[in-house]
């Protein structure tokens, strides 16, 4: 595939994905395509894909509906949960509106209780996600994946064969490989692109319903970035790894602060970035449920206890991306990431000898000035 | 040939300016920020600038507001530099500003090794003291004359608004003004010490910001932290001085 547009236009297009996806979704719905809405990267999207459904991410990433949500939910709850609920409640999110089935997992406490409330508005299926990656946990999750398959079959009156699942696994693996090659470009020093552009692609691709086409586009984009590499553009910038909660629209606030103060984000150890993309599914495993369970339960989210995978991933990323500093951004009232930050800080500073900074934020822009000062001071310190 | 650098620190309450010749503060200014930070910064700039100034660095939350500045640096880096200059071999800095407080860990060369900022709430900042002085009808300058009159008073509220009603109810119970003020100061110092204890500071700590000019604060902070707290007559200028020191490297 060849991309005719120039790079800024392509990045822009990816960031428009979310908006354009509304229309596309409407079209596909009219053609009779079923839609499954999900919130979290633990959802094995291969199953909906196997039955020919489209997956759409419902994790809300801005603060628009938080006031409505706060009529029912406590104020001191993570903004991601409040906003997700708010969009469902107010019917303002077309993705939610058009989803035929909503799937959640028992991840963090706030989210799983919120799913109970969502069931008032929509059919919701909650997968029981164990909070430990033990052999028992894996077994349970494999069972849950089978149950999810059965749920899809009964809800949509269809059957899903293992052959179809295998095909879906192949497709998602191909996309993971393409995405890894794309964000892996940032291993180059100086970095070839800005962190916001990288984020636009990682986020936008989740709203491309034609997965194979999206994969081809990512590959072509990767090639284009290589062809147009200008080492002067980000020369001398401090190389930052961003980690922590999924911060949605706050990414812009944080990344802008980093990149206007002499840094560049070269790696996201977040959902949407390395955390959810890094590991492939074993295509040689004859037991597809086992293969899916193994891969998904390995996602190193702070909901897992203990969560050694996150340190292993950080260890590798810090070396591969030649990281100068780690910035952890945690959403307000996100307890799991907040508590885990202690371990992350110690690991990063003591084992890896890399400076680390912690920041708490929400979806508003009221703290943009403070974020800018902190990030600025951190980069001056590097 | 240029001889001086100029550092301007625009904080939430005051704008500070320092003219620096590479060794000492040659001249300085301090004015209230009021609602017009850009204008006040410019005033300070006009007053201190002369032909021999080779480089201008701004810092503080208004650091973007002076078009004449050659460079903008965050207050963390500047406070560290200023404290290292004024305090010598201190292990860290605690700055209590008008609307935030910060703790900075220094390495042995006076560079920032780590830092924390408390900018989420006004408790434990200069604002809190302003509020207290208003209710107790005293001036900041009077604080150092306060001495215990009765049993110690504890202020437990973490939030400025609640602390305000706590103070009012203490007054209603006829508790001496001195004791209330001392209680407030102790609670601020304790809170600041707890916050700063997340950084592994060694040796003595430099205390900067507007409150550092009161001996009462210094001694309470020292008691709360449990290590020597030093300050300097010019500690209120710490950020502006740090900015000027950083700028001096570019003076040719
Ligand atoms: S951070 Fe954890 S709970 Fe949140 S989307 Fe990612 S995997 Fe799911
Ligand atoms: S950001 Fe934290 S609190 Fe919010 S949904 Fe994710 S894990 Fe839960």
Most confident of A178-182, B10-14, B124-128: A178-182
pLDDT of residue B123: 66
Nearest CA to ligand 1 atom 6: A271
Q: What is the per-residue pLDDT across A42-51, written as a single tens digit (0 to 9) for each?
A: 999 999 999 9
Q: Alpha-carbon torsion A202, A208, A211, A213, what sign?
A: negative
| Strands, sheet with B4-10, edge to edge from the N-terminal-most edge strand | B25-32, B14-20, B4-10, B53-59, B71-72
**Can you name the residues that pair with B112 across neighbouring β-strands?**
B106
Q: Is residue A376 less than 8 Å (CB to CB) from chain B?
A: yes
- Strands B14-20 vs B4-10: parallel, antiparallel or unpaired: antiparallel
Average pLDDT for A268-278: 92
Q: Which element (helix H / strand E) includes A239?
A: strand A238-244
How far does the CA of residue A133 sit from the closest CA of chain B (Å)? 31
CB atoms within 10 A of CB A171: 17
Query: A373, A376, A378: best mutation site toward chain B, by most B Cβ within 10 Å?
Result: A373
Judged by DSSP in three states, A56 sits in: strand
CA of A59 from ligand 2 middle (Å) equals 10
The number of the ligand nearest the C-alpha atom of A273 reads: 1
Predicted TM-score of the model (pTM): 0.90
Of A299, A224, A223, A236, nearest to A40 (Cα)?
A299
C-alpha to C-alpha distance for A82 and A66, rounded to whole angstroms: 6
Q: What is the per-residue pLDDT across A145-154, written as a single tens digit (0 to 9) for each?
A: 999 999 999 9
Average pLDDT score, chain A: 93
Which DSSP string do the residues of B22-87 spell out, in sequence order? Answer: SSSEEEEEEEE-TT-HHHHHHHHHHHH--TTEEEEEEESTTGGG-TT-SEE--HHHHHHHHHHHHH
Q: Is residue A370 less than 8 Å (CB to CB) from chain B?
A: yes
Sequence-ordered list of residues with C-beta below 8 angstroms from that of A152, at least 6 positions apart, any chain: A36, A47, A48, A51, A53, A101, A158, A160
What is chain A's length?
A: 382
C-alpha to C-alpha distance for A162 and B125, rounded to whole angstroms: 63
Q: What is the per-residue pLDDT across A290-326, written as a single tens digit (0 to 9) for each?
A: 999 999 999 999 999 999 999 999 999 999 999 999 9
CB contact under 8 A, B112 and A373: no
Nearest CA to ligand 2 atom 7: A108
Q: What is the per-residue pLDDT across B88-131, written as a single tens digit (0 to 9) for each?
A: 889 999 998 877 889 999 998 889 999 998 866 666 688 888 88
Angle at the Cα of A339 from the Cα atoms of A336 and A340, rounded to 5 degrees: 80
Backbone angles phi, psi at B9, to 5 degrees: -115, 110
Sequence-ordered list of residues with C-beta below 8 angstroms from that of A132, at least 6 positions apart, any chain: A304, A305, A306
Query: Using 50, 70 and 90 to split pLDDT, how confident is the model at A2?
Result: low
What is chain B's length?
A: 252
Judged by DSSP in three states, A361 sits in: strand
Average pLDDT for B171-192: 89
CB contact burial B142-175 (16+ within 10 A = b; e otherwise)? ebeebeeeeeebebeeeebeebbebbeebeeeeb
- pLDDT over threshold 90, residue B191: no
């Amino acid at each position: 595939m060849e991309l005719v547009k120039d790079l800024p236009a392509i990045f822009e297009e990816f960031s428009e994905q979310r908006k354009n996806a509304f229309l596309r979704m409407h079209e596909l719905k009219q053609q009779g395509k079923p839609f499954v809405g999900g919130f979290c990267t633990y959802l094995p999207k291969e199953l909906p894909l196997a039955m020919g459904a489209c997956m759409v991410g419902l994790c809300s990433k801005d603060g628009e509906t938080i006031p409505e949500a706060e009529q029912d939910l406590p104020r001191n709850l993570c903004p991601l949960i409040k906003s997700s609920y708010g969009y469902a409640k107010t019917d303002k999110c077309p993705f939610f509106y058009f989803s035929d089935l909503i799937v959640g997992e028992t991840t963090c406490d706030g989210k799983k209780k919120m799913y109970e409330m969502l069931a008032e508005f929509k059919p919701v299926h909650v997968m029981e996600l164990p909070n430990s990656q033990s052999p028992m946990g894996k077994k349970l999750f494999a069972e849950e994946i089978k149950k999810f398959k059965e749920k899809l079959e009964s809800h949509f009156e269809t059957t899903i064969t293992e052959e179809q699942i295998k095909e879906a696994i192949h497709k998602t693996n191909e996309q993971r490989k393409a995405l890894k090659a794309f964000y892996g470009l940032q291993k180059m020093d100086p970095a070839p692109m800005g962190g916001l552009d990288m984020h636009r692609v990682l986020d936008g691709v989740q709203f491309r319903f034609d997965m194979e086409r999206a994969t081809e586009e990512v590959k072509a984009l990767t090639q284009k970035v290589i062809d147009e590499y200008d080492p002067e553009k980000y020369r001398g910038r401090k190389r930052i790894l961003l980690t922590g909660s999924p911060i949605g629209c706050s990414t812009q606030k944080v990344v802008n602060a980093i990149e206007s103060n002499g840094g560049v984000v070269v790696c996201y150890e977040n959902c949407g970035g390395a955390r959810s993309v890094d590991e492939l599914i074993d295509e040689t495993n004859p037991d597809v449920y086992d293969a899916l369970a193994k891969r998904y339960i390995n996602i190193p989210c702070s909901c897992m206890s203990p969560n050694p995978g996150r340190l292993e991933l950080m260890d590798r990323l810090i070396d591969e991306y030649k990281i100068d500093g780690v910035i952890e951004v945690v959403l307000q009232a996100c307890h799991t990431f907040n508590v885990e930050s202690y371990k992350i800080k110690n690991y990063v500073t003591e084992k890896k000898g890399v400076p680390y900074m912690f920041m708490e934020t929400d979806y508003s822009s009221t703290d943009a000035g403070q974020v800018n000062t902190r990030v600025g001071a951190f980069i001056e310190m590097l | 040939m240029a001889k001086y650098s100029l550092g301007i620190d625009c904080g939430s309450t005051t704008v500070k300016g320092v003219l620096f010749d590479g060794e000492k503060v040659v001249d300085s200014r301090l004015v209230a920020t009021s609602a017009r930070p850009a204008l006040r910064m410019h005033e300070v700039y006009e007053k201190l600038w002369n032909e021999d100034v080779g480089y201008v660095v701004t810092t503080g939350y208004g650091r973007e507001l002076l078009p004449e500045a050659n460079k903008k640096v965050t207050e963390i880096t500047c406070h560290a530099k200023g404290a290292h200059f004024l305090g010598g071999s201190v292990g860290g800095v605690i700055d209590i500003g008008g609307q935030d407080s910060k703790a900075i860990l220094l390495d042995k060369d006076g560079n920032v090794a780590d830092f924390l900022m408390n900018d989420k709430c006004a408790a434990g900042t200069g604002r809190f003291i302003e509020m207290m002085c208003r209710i107790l009808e005293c001036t900041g300058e009077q604080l150092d004359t306060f001495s215990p009159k009765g049993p110690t008073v504890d202020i437990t509220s973490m939030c400025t608004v609640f602390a305000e009603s706590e103070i009012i109810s203490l007054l209603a119970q006829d508790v001496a003004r001195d004791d209330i003020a001392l209680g407030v100061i102790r609670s601020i110092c304790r809170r600041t010490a707890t916050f700063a204890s997340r950084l592994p500071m060694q040796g003595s700590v430099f205390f900067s910001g507007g409150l550092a000019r009161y001996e009462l604060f210094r001694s309470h902070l020292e008691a709360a932290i449990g290590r020597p707290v030093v300050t300097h007559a010019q500690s209120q200028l710490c950020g502006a001085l740090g900015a000027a020191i950083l700028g001096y490297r570019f003076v040719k």
